[in-house]
Amino acid sequence: MSDVLEVKNLSKSFGGIQAVKDVSFSVKKGELLAMIGPNGAGKSTCFNMLMGQLKPTKGEVYFEGQNLIGRPPREIWRMGIGRTFQITGTYTSMTVVENVQMALISHHRRTMAILPYAHKMYKPEAMELLELVGMQDQAERHCAILAYGDLKRLELAIALCHDPSLLLMDEPTAGMAPTERIKLMQLTADIVQDKNISVLFTEHDMDVVFAHSHRIMVLNRGELMANGSVDEIRNDPRVQEVYLGGGSLFEEAESQA
Ligand code: ADP
Ligand code: MG
C-alpha cells in the first residue's frame, strides 16, 4: 500500500500549552485509520492542522507527495482531502437530493448557473451517491424531518461529492446511539473498500474503533504513544494504563456493553 498522507513532526502550541508534539505518521491508500486518545489529547488540533484551519508551529504534511502546510482549507479540499461537516452543513429547507446536488454544483464550480436549472443539475450523480449511503428512498424528503443517523449518512454522501482520496472524520458518530455508530462506521468501511479511499477518524466508542479500524494510533498529551494493529493496541499495556489511569475510553466501552 502506498502512502496517501505523510505527517512529520507535526506540532502545535497555544501559548504555553503544547497541544500536539512531534506527531509523525502516514495514512496508506485504502486504509481506515483511527486516532484515539483521552479528551484534550490533541486529536482535533491535529485534524485542524491537516485541514488547513490551524497553522502548525512546526512540522510537514504531504498529501500525495504535495506539501500542504500554508495552503488554505479550500485548496486542501480541492486537492482531494474531504471532511464530514456537522449537521449545519446541510440546508434543512431543501430535500435530501437537493443538498447533494448543491454540493456537486459547488464542486463543479457551476454556482453561477444554478437558478433556473438547479433542480435538474447533477441529479443522476446525486442519486448515485445517495444509493451508496443507502438514502435513495429518502431523496425527496426534507432534511428538517430526517432522523439524526440519516443526516449523518447524508453528510457522508456530501463529503464524497468531490471524489476525495482521503476523508478526515473528527468524531463522525458523536451524538449517535451505539448501534447507529456501528452501522455508520460499517457503511464508511464499505465505501472505503468500494472506492479505495482512505479515512482518518477519531472515535470515542472503543467497540466501533476495534470493529472497523485497519490500524489505530493513540495520542496522549499531544504525543503519539502507540501506532499499530487492533490486536497490538488492545494488548498494549501502556495504552491500557492511559485509559484506565485516565478513566476514559475502555471504561466507557465496558459500561456500554
Ligand atoms: P481532543 O480533540 O483530543 O480532545 P484538542 O485538540 O481539542 O483535543 O485539544 C488539545 C489541547 O489543546 C487541550 O488542552 C485544549 O484545551 C487545547 N486547545 C485546543 N484548541 C485550543 C485553542 N484554540 N486555544 C488554546 N488551547 C487550545
Ligand atoms: Mg476533539
Residues 73-128 pLDDT 10s? 989 999 999 988 655 566 778 899 999 998 888 888 765 555 666 677 899 999 99
Please tell me the least confidently modeled range out of 12-16, 97-101, 115-119, 224-228.
115-119
17 lines ligand 1 (CB under 6 A): yes
Q: Mean of the pLDDT values across residues 173-201?
A: 92
Helix/strand/coil percent split, the chain, to 5: 45, 25, 30
Query: Is it the case that residue 57 has pLDDT exceeding 60?
Result: yes
CA of 38 to the centre of ligand 2 (A): 9
> Which ligand lies nearest the alpha carbon of 55?
1
211 and 237 in contact (C-beta within 8 Å)?
A: no
Residue whose Cα lies nearest atom 5 of ligand 1: it is: 42
CA distances from 122 to 111, 127, 154 (A): 12, 9, 16
CA of 12 to the centre of ligand 1 (A): 10
Query: Is it the case that residue 53 has pLDDT exceeding 80?
Result: yes
Determine what percent of the chain is predicted with pLDDT higher than 70: 88
- In what helix (H) or strand (E) does residue 99 lie, and over which residues does it extend? helix 96-107
Query: Is it the case that residue 132 has pLDDT exceeding 90?
Result: yes
Between 1 and 183, name the one with better pLDDT: 183
> Which ligand lies nearest the alpha carbon of 170?
2
Determine what percent of the chain is predicted with pLDDT higher than 90: 66
- Choose among 109, 87, 82: nearest CA to 99: 87
Question: Where are the domains positioned within the chain?
Answer: 1-80+166-257, 91-163
Strand segments (E) across the chain? 3-14, 17-28, 32-36, 58-63, 66-67, 81-83, 166-170, 198-202, 215-220, 223-228
12 lines ligand 1 (CB under 6 A): no
Phi, psi of 104 (to 5 degrees): -70, -40
Between 194 and 107, name the one with better pLDDT: 194
Q: Which residue has the cell 454522501?
A: 157
Residue whose Cα lies nearest atom 6 of ligand 1: it is: 42
Query: Is it the case that residue 253 has pLDDT exceeding 50?
Result: no
CA of 105 to the centre of ligand 1 (A): 35
CA of 5 to the centre of ligand 1 (A): 23
Q: What is the pLDDT of residue 252?
A: 46
43 lines ligand 1 (CB under 6 A): yes
19 lines ligand 1 (CB under 6 A): yes
Query: Using 50, 70 and 90 to split pLDDT, how confident is the model at 44?
Result: very high
Query: Using 50, 70 and 90 to split pLDDT, how confident is the model at 205?
Result: confident
39 lines ligand 1 (CB under 6 A): yes
For 5-29, give the DSSP string. Answer: EEEEEEEEEETTEEEEEEEEEEEET
Architecture of the 1-80+166-257 domain = 3-Layer(aba) Sandwich (3.40)
Burial class (CB in 10 A: 0-12, 13-18, 19+), 225: middle
